Amino acid sequence: MKKGTLLNSEVSHLISRLGHTDEITISDAGLPVPDNVQRIDLALCHGVPDFIRTVQTIMTEMKVEAIVLAREFKEVSPEHHELLMNVIDSEEKRTGEAIDISYVSHEEFKQLTQSSKAIVRTGEFTAYANVIFKSGVVF
């Protein structure tokens, strides 16, 4: 049995296949998944698993060099946006490396997800709780 934090075999496999600058999206329950992008559906019911815990868990296994967020997330769901920023800040402090953060419109965000290797769908019901992670390198 896997000893690490991340137990989901599909997500673990996804992360193990990432190269530098590859992208994955972690989404709320409502983000549309393009037909050409793998869907890894973790959603069980309203709020399970939640967005923040999913982000934290994935970041234990994935080197993230940049993130993309919809501007609407910061405006419409400021409490969840702040929780995400706290997670990012903690990761930056832990690694000593900055993570680039950029904002786009929600419509542009949905277009950008077409380049993701996969979209990991959570049970989150918070509006615009979506993030694109760009993979870094560990050396």
The CATH number that applies at residue 83 is 3.40.1650.10
Cβ(43)–Cβ(76) below 8 Å:
no
Cβ(130)–Cβ(25) below 8 Å:
yes
> What residues are annotated to the active site?
20
Task: Indicate whether 1 belongs to any domain.
Answer: no
Residue 124 CB neighbours (<10 A): 28
What is the pTM assigned to this prediction?
0.95
Q: Give the integer Cα–Cα distance in Å for 135 and 24.
A: 8
Q: Which residues of 85-115 are buried (b: 16+ CB within 10 A; e: fewer)?
A: eebbeebeeeeeeebeeeebebeebbeebee
Structural domain harbouring 63:
9-135
Task: Indicate whether 26 belongs to any domain.
Answer: yes
- Pairing mode, if any, of strands 64-70 and 100-104? parallel
Cβ(5)–Cβ(62) below 8 Å:
no
Structural domain count, the chain: 1
- Mean pLDDT lowest for which of 6-10, 70-74, 88-92, 102-106? 6-10
Q: What is the pLDDT of residues 17-76, one digit of tens each?
A: 999 999 999 999 999 999 999 999 999 999 999 999 999 999 999 999 999 999 999 999
